[in-house]
Structure 1
């Protein structure tokens, strides 16, 4: 480091983001920390006077002596600029009559100053002073320790794609979008209750959003706005399955008897209140009357007797009930789509109004047909970002609270620092992090609204968190080590392990490394992990997409796919996976013998993160010939993956990391580890 001959006392300057330096610890994010405002080093001679013109001193310039280079340099305390040669005095001009200074006389060119160790007639051209003049020690690299490894480089090559036509994330637009989505979710509940006297099927709305987005070609990242067919078959089936009542597995014999009676009464009520065919009304009425007679006469019936009787009644009545309410249920599905289309138009109008204020407009959809191969990169935008409103940052112990117009969202400090790292890796239009906090708020708001609950310890038991579950850290480490996996096909900025991944929302996730929708990723080579959320249409489309990519590419390509082992009936996606021509290996991990990470990991404590899987999990290796040759699922590699899934393995890893926090393969002289 240089040593200066003059010291300066300056007020601390608040900077964002925290600057990565050679210090062994990193300041907390979003906190105003005092940082040195001068080049580091002690003065070598306090009595030595350096003369500078008064005009330069007014402009913030000071002169110092570089002990390493044995020559003076000049540093501006206002701009941070550093020069080897004396800076040029800015011209004096009248700001009223000559605001640009174009009438001022030309300035004389400064004379280069010869260096002490060079011949007198040799001068050095004026250059900016560079840190260490390219000869200093290599800057240390920080590793943010946590349930991720953001330093794994990608091995994924894709075909170049066109920039997306979405508007940049904007808190005002997102707040409006999320209010409309909550309104649409409430409308779904109300229309199901008013038309069919049932509650909206659990998680049906979220699955409808995912199913629609598989075929949607509209202009909104969240609302379906251009789908064919307009009536969702998934929503239709889920509503129809709960008519006349939602059936559950009763705990006790008395509950089984009540459920049978309620089903018979509800079926009879539907046939009497609807315009049903005479034959259908007759069949249902006869079966319902027979059931009530059996209930009155039978004494001491067992649990299985009631369940068998219910199955028989449903088999006899359900076809007639379905035909009777078909038009009504289709009307519910169509109404939901039309409302979604209407809301998408409103959001687009609001986006356009904000862009017009900044002299911009939404671009048309761009299609790029190219065969150029590139390393995978985050989604890029076709237009610039408008000015964003202020989002408040409120530190709260181990969490950070982000508030916009009274809407407060929480995130663990460690995950916020993870987002900082992802942002630094992937966002190229905001190097000063001026837009970081608003973009984090938008992303948190999007996922909270999509899930239908605000993620918190109080809502951790909600089943919707299953959509955001991820495999344990030990499994990712094993997949990377044994199979070269560097990419997640289904993740989010909050639960991703690698810095390269695909996610549901390209517009608000791209700042944090998202490559967009997996169904639009044209991968040529690489090793992938795929753990799709449970939506049958999305799972089927994903398997089809993988097979197309494997069939089209001669380069090494591998997908390690995880799916729940649901049977009776077996999902179509799982059947296609098991019968795929590219399947190289298949294993099944029994229920309760492996764990997943909680979907709300960004707001929970460490002790609440790992949860036992209540269902078995199927792991299938899909590989083309080149991929199989490179990443063959040998017995040792597969056993290593199964061992990594063993419950408790992640806690063992965490204990070892506390004892030796440096990641494997890193050296203490080149990297510093930040442990949380």
Structure 2
């Protein structure tokens, strides 16, 4: 079908053209088309339809100014409602659309069919209407030049084709053209409060204070620095049980004392243990542990028996150190293990109340901060006359739809302006002096995700503010250190995602973010900021009926355990094809509850072990790091477990051939990583930091609690 361009300039037309019979969802509004006398029913006019004239084809067509959809034939009322049916999944394809599709095929335009066309939900558990699929429509290509509004934001004229070409992603680590095969029950909009930069600014300031409180408590009460990443994993663990309303700060948790924070602090008492390479380091570590254990037991309220046992073992260790000058590294480490075994229970008992006090104090400060943030947020909405009282949606018959991004029921208040500039290849967005950064590549990705997913901002006036809120939220969640938290955000390599999609129909990520997602359909930590960019919300709140999913959770024991429980419940309750391909660290000493349970699950169809240092992850700082820092080697084995119900196993069986292709995809990534590493000589790269992050996690796993 020939394109019908609207606009005065040829360059604008090339960027903003649309064709009758195609649908460009969430694009900026096109220049006003040539109009003809309206002869449409009032209902269609109110729905955004108008009749236009095609000079090229010399005949009229119909254009929707709300959705940028255009058709040759008069549309049917209710054919596409972007609010109640944002993906057009329940629109019955009419003859006109079929004719358009045939014409487009005749012209040789290659269009990807939706994987979801294969899914035809059926069963007796609930009444399930047929999920109708409209004809395949061309979607904005992730490698194409961004639209005119984005060019203007970056200070580039649409007429300057050379500059516009520079905004194309140079290294694409995603495929946003893949449609979802995840089927869910239709959800009403969420009642969470819409993000606002003033609220996000206050939240970030209080989060920094909370981190500082945690550091000071560890230093003052226990004489140690906070275990690395322990605060980040505390937030992940708290959100598993948190029933509070703040999206980031825990505010309604039971129990108050976090098992994750308690465990990690206790692992570093009386001192933090680290990996040892040389004999002298082992000798020094043994001496420091003995000295710290003696000092702690003398300064705390401990029983006479505990004081006696610790004092005797410490004195025996000092005597051995003075006596044996020819001991090897292994001798020192064996002696350290013996000392920890003898003194550990007594040291832990003496420190227990103090460590619980740290955990309780941090939680109650977080609760107070969340209350302050909530009060400010509500006051801001009230100032703009926005009520948080949302009428409950009328009860409707259960309806199945293909998964769409989360929507908010409470409207967003007017948003202030932000400053933006570009430094080399980095886009900098500033609000009230606080700046966040993202590479041009990933800025273009956020733009594409926003075009696909956001329906309340057709003019893109709120795009920059929402990008600032999004980046600030993740910056605060994982810390403001250069590469802090990036190990918790690591993603699978691109070649592996391609293989998962090709071999097992995977089209959805259960743990991702707008920054590191490969598909445009995913779950993420924050529904309020991420929903505008395609997120369905937290994975533990996501209940698909069918589909194939990839799950690579942050390595937090409580979160991984809750994930296994959630997946087994979903597999038990659905008779439709359902598949979860889960990636977990193979921690065996001691084994994590999640790994033990998932290996014993009745839904486990196959398990694949990827050896340490023989596979990679994509850096959690990929949106700001250099190309040579994009991948890092895994320092532990990774277990890949296929959880499938009977229908899922029949459809996506992990056969030997498919598994071999998946392993080959990892090897392909390894060759690319080796080529990239050979061209880089930096010893302080993000990859090194990420390796160290995961190594610290492995160390804490291998160290049994005192």
Normalising by structure 2, report the TM-score.
0.73
Aligned to 1:346: 372
Contact 1:474 1:649 in 2 (8 A): no
Residue number among 308, 321, 331 corresponding to 1:295 in the alignment: 321
Distance 1:67 1:468 in 2: 52
> How big is the shift at 1:278?
1.4
Residue number among 251, 258, 271 corresponding to 1:225 in the alignment: 251
Contact 1:198 1:245 in 2 (8 A): yes
Distance 2:478 2:220 in 1: 24
72 and 255 in structure 1: CA distance in 2 versus 1, 3 angstrom threshold: closer
Aligned to 1:385: 412
1:108-152 CA-to-partner distances (Å, cap 9, x unmatched) read xxxxxxxxxxxxxxxxxxxxxxxx9x9999996541132111111
Where 1:570 maps in the other structure, the secondary structure is coil
Where 1:524 maps in the other structure, the secondary structure is coil
Aligned to 1:445: 472
Moved more, 331-340 or 281-290: 281-290
Q: How does 1:369-518 map to 2 (within 5 A)?
A: 371-453=398-480, 459=482, 462=483, 464-518=485-539
Contact 2:249 2:370 in 1 (8 A): yes
Distance 1:3 1:493 in 2: 33
Q: How does 1:538-577 map to 2 (within 5 A)?
A: 538-577=559-598
Contact 1:164 1:365 in 2 (8 A): no
Where 1:543 maps in the other structure, the secondary structure is helix
> How big is the shift at 1:192?
0.7
Where 1:596 maps in the other structure, the secondary structure is strand
Q: How does 1:219-368 map to 2 (within 5 A)?
A: 219-363=245-389
Distance 2:245 2:533 in 1: 22
Where 1:143 maps in the other structure, the secondary structure is coil
> How big is the shift at 1:265?
1.1
> How big is the shift at 1:69?
7.1
21 and 606 in structure 1: CA distance in 2 versus 1, 3 angstrom threshold: farther
Contact 2:522 2:535 in 1 (8 A): yes
Aligned to 1:525: 546
1:158-208 CA-to-partner distances (Å, cap 9, x unmatched) read 123343222111111111101111110110010011011111111000000
Contact 2:511 2:553 in 1 (8 A): yes
1:435-476 CA-to-partner distances (Å, cap 9, x unmatched) read 00100111111111111125xxxx3xx362111111111111
Where 1:175 maps in the other structure, the secondary structure is helix
Aligned to 2:196: 170
Where 2:465 maps in the other structure, the secondary structure is helix
Residue number among 188, 203, 218 corresponding to 2:214 in the alignment: 188
Distance 1:354 1:177 in 2: 14
366 and 448 in structure 1: CA distance in 2 versus 1, 3 angstrom threshold: farther
Contact 1:474 1:650 in 2 (8 A): no
631 and 271 in structure 1: CA distance in 2 versus 1, 3 angstrom threshold: same
Aligned to 1:150: 176
In the alignment, structure 1 segments of 5+ residues that lack a partner are 23-29, 41-63, 74-79, 81-131, 656-676
Residue number among 230, 255, 267 corresponding to 1:204 in the alignment: 230
> How big is the shift at 1:426?
1.0
How many aligned residue pairs are there?
A: 555
Where 2:617 maps in the other structure, the secondary structure is strand
Normalising by structure 1, report the TM-score.
0.76
Segments of 4+ moved more than 3 angstroms: 1-4, 18-22, 35-40, 64-73, 134-142, 361-372, 647-652
Distance 1:65 1:380 in 2: 35
Distance 1:251 1:365 in 2: 64
Distance 2:201 2:520 in 1: 27
70 and 629 in structure 1: CA distance in 2 versus 1, 3 angstrom threshold: closer
Distance 2:415 2:244 in 1: 25
Distance 1:20 1:606 in 2: 34
Aligned to 1:603: 624
Contact 1:164 1:366 in 2 (8 A): no
Contact 1:489 1:502 in 2 (8 A): yes
Contact 2:536 2:542 in 1 (8 A): yes
Distance 2:430 2:3 in 1: 43
Contact 1:473 1:650 in 2 (8 A): no
Aligned to 1:615: 636
> How big is the shift at 1:647?
4.6
Distance 2:581 2:398 in 1: 26
365 and 312 in structure 1: CA distance in 2 versus 1, 3 angstrom threshold: farther
68 and 278 in structure 1: CA distance in 2 versus 1, 3 angstrom threshold: closer
> How big is the shift at 1:279?
1.4
| RMSD after superposition | 3.5
Aligned to 1:97: none
Contact 1:595 1:647 in 2 (8 A): no
453 and 36 in structure 1: CA distance in 2 versus 1, 3 angstrom threshold: closer
Distance 1:366 1:372 in 2: 17
Where 1:646 maps in the other structure, the secondary structure is helix
Distance 2:664 2:396 in 1: 44
Contact 2:478 2:484 in 1 (8 A): no
Contact 2:139 2:177 in 1 (8 A): no
> How big is the shift at 1:251?
2.1
> How big is the shift at 1:250?
2.0
The structure with the greater share of residues assigned to helix is 2
385 and 302 in structure 1: CA distance in 2 versus 1, 3 angstrom threshold: same
